[in-house]
Chains A and B, each alone.
Chain A
C-alpha cells in the first residue's frame, strides 16, 4: 500500500500544527464558534448530539496493521474504546474532547493518517472496491488511481471551495462493488476496442434528498488524460453549479437541470480548450512509482481448492456457514478474500471495539500480508488469505467476536448512526437495524432468504444509502414521533437504481414485523431458491411486496 513520502508527512504535520493553534484560539475565546466551525470541519471535527466527533480519512478504505492499531490506541486513550466505520470507508470517533483533538491529529500523523477533506465543500475521501487488487473479476487494480486522485485533489486550490461536497469512487471494472453510479463522479476501469485500459466516466450520481443515478459522460478516457478530464468536469461544476441554495448545489442537480447532452458538451469543450500548459499529465515514472506501492504480494503456488479447508468445513457447521457467506473469490488460485462482518446481532452496524481492531491487525499481519480494507457496507475485508489458513482465521475471528456469518445477507445492514448520535437525524437507525436483525436471527431463515441488501438512514441526507438498498428504510419525524418509510428496488451495483417509496411510513415497532411479511411474500413468490429478492422484485414489481408490507395496517 501507499506510504507517505517526505512531502505527505510534512503536509499532514503542518496541518496538525495549524489546527492546534486554531483550537487554542477557540478555547481562549479569540475565535468564536461561528468562525471556528469552518476550520474544524476542514479537519473532520463535527459537533454532534453528545460530543465532538472526529471523522478520520481512510483513503479508498485501505488500512494495515499499524494504522488499525493506531486507531485502536486513539479509541482507548481519547474515546470510549470503539470506533464507527462509515459508508465512505472512513472511521468516526464519537466522544473526543476538542482540547484533545490536536494530540489526536498528531497521533494519526504518527501512523500516516489524517482527517483532511473529510468534511466541507471539497473533494472528499476517494472510495473504491474493498476487494481491489484481489477480486477475480477486475480488469485492473483501481487503487493506484485512487491514490493519484487523492494526491491531485488534496488541497487543490481551485477545488477547495466548491458549491458543495464532492465524492469520487473508482471501480476496477468487474462487478461494481464501489457504487460508482451514485457518486458525483464514478470511474470504471475498462478496455477500449484496441484493448487499452482507461476509464468510463460517470457523472451526476448521488443520494441525499434528490437521488440520481449518474450518466456516462465519456465511454472511455485514457489514463494519461484522466486528471485533465476530471479538471474539466470540476471547472464546469465550479462555474455553473448553484451556490445560492445548498439543496440544489450538488453536481447531480446541475447535470439534471442542464440535461445530459448539454452537460457533456460543456465538459468536452472545457477539456478541448485546455492548452498544453494547463493539462495535468502525470509523468509515466510517477504513475509507475505509485503503482509499485500496490504491487500484489508474491502468492504461493497453490491448488485452486484446499482439502484442509473442505474437511474443516465438513466437520464444523459454523465454519461452513460462515465460509458460504463471507468468503469471496480471489484472482490467485488457492487464495480467498474474507468479508469480516461488523454486524453482529444487536450491535451498532459498523462499530468495532479497540480490542477488535487490534485483533484484526494481528490476524491481517499473520494471515493476510497485513492488508485490511474498509467496505462501504461498513464491514472489514482481509484481502489475501490462503484457503489453507481459513480455519485458523475463522477461529481467531471467533475469539474476537468478528465471525458473524452474514456477509451480504439481510442482517448485514448498512445503517447511519441516526438520532442516537447525529445532530442532523430525525429518527433512530441503529435500534431499527437491531430490531430487524432480531426478526431474522434464525440462521436457517437467513440462509433461505439469500442475498438481500437492507439500508437504513435516519434522515433524508441518506448516509445509510437507503435509496440503493434492495429494501431501504428512511427515518422521518412526524410531529415528534419517529416514522419509517420503506423503499423497494434500489441497487448500488452496475445496474444502479433508486428505490421507490412503498407508501406511508410505519412506526418503529411495526418495521420488523412488516419486513418479515415482505420476506415471507418473497419466499412464497420466487421462481426458485436461486431467484434473489431483488430479481424477484424486478420480475414481479412492487405491488405484492407493498401489499405484504401494509397487510396488518
Chain B
C-alpha cells in the first residue's frame, strides 16, 4: 500500500494542476478574445469616423451658405476628433501612426477654425476651399486604406490581441508587424500632406515661434555669475553648468547648485538663456515647514524679488497655494493694460518667504515694446455685449493671446453668474466676445483683480 502513496499523491497533484492549468488557459483565452474584440471594435469605429468626416467634408464643400457650411464642418470636427481618439487607443506603435494622428487632429482644428470664421460671417476664400478639398482627398485616401486593411485583417487572421502581446515583448518587432499590416504605407503617404497655415488652435507653424528675447550671447562662466547674483539671498554654492538645453525656442545652459547654510545640501536647478543671460526657470524642491506668511506678504516678497532682478511694472494676477507654497502669476502692465502674454511665475515658500521657483518663458518669448492701440468701442458699449443675467464686478483692459498667436486688446469683465465667477473678454475693436473663463474657486486659489 505504502509504495502507492507517492504515485497517488503525484497523480492527484497532476490532475489538480491540469484542472488549474486548463482553467487558467481558458481564462487567458477569454481575456485575449475580450481584448481583441475591443480593439476590433475601435478599429471599425475608426473607419466609420474617418468615412463620416470625409463625407461631411464633401457635403461642406458643396454647401451654398455659410450656415450649411458650418453645420457640416461642425460634424467634421466631431468625427475627426473621434477618429483620432479611437486611433490612439489601438495598440499601435507611435512612430507608425504619428502623421495619421496629426492629420486627424489638424483636420479637426482646421475645420474648427473655418467654422469660427463662418460664424463671424466671413466667407471662406479660395485658398481655404482648396485646403478643404486637399484635406478631403487625404481623408478619402485614409478611409480607403483603412478599409483594405480591415479586409486583410479579417482574411489573414491578424488579431490585435496578438499585436498587443508582441508589443509587450519587443517594440521593434511590432514595427515589423506594422509593415505587414500595411499601416506603414498609409503613414508614408500621409507624410506628404501639405502643412496647414491657419488661425486655428494648435497650429503647426506656431512651433517655429521666434522668441522676442534679445541680448548678447553669454559664456558658461557668465551664466554661473548670473545665477549667483540672481539668487544672492538664497545662498547657493557650487553652481555648475551641467548641460545644454538646445533645439528649443530659448536655448539655455542647464545649471545646478547646492544650498549653503541652514538648509545644507539641498539641490537646486535652473536654466539660463544663452542669449541675454536670463533665468528661464528655477526650481528649489525643498519641503516647506509650517506657514508663517500670508498671501499678501508672499506677493510683496515676490514683487520685490522681481524688481531686484530687473522686472518692473509686473502686476500679480492670480495666486494658488498648496502645502506651504504659493505660486504667484505676474503679468506685465503698461498704461493700465494688463498684458497676459508676458507672464512670469514666482513660487514663494510660506514658511520663511524664500523664493523657491521662477518661470519666465512666457515673458521672455512674448515681451516687446508694444504700440497699444486705443480701444475703438467704449467700456459701456462692450458691457452691452454681456448677458443681462450677469453681475459685473470689475472691468479693465487686457491684452490676451489668441490661439493663432495674435494679441488682441479686450475689455476684461469679471462677472458673477449664479454661484460662479467668470472672466469675459470682449474685443475692444469690434465687440466680439473672444473668451470666457470660468473661475473655479478652491480653498487654495484666488484671483487677484
Chain A partners chain B: no
Interface residues of A (CB under 8 A from B): none
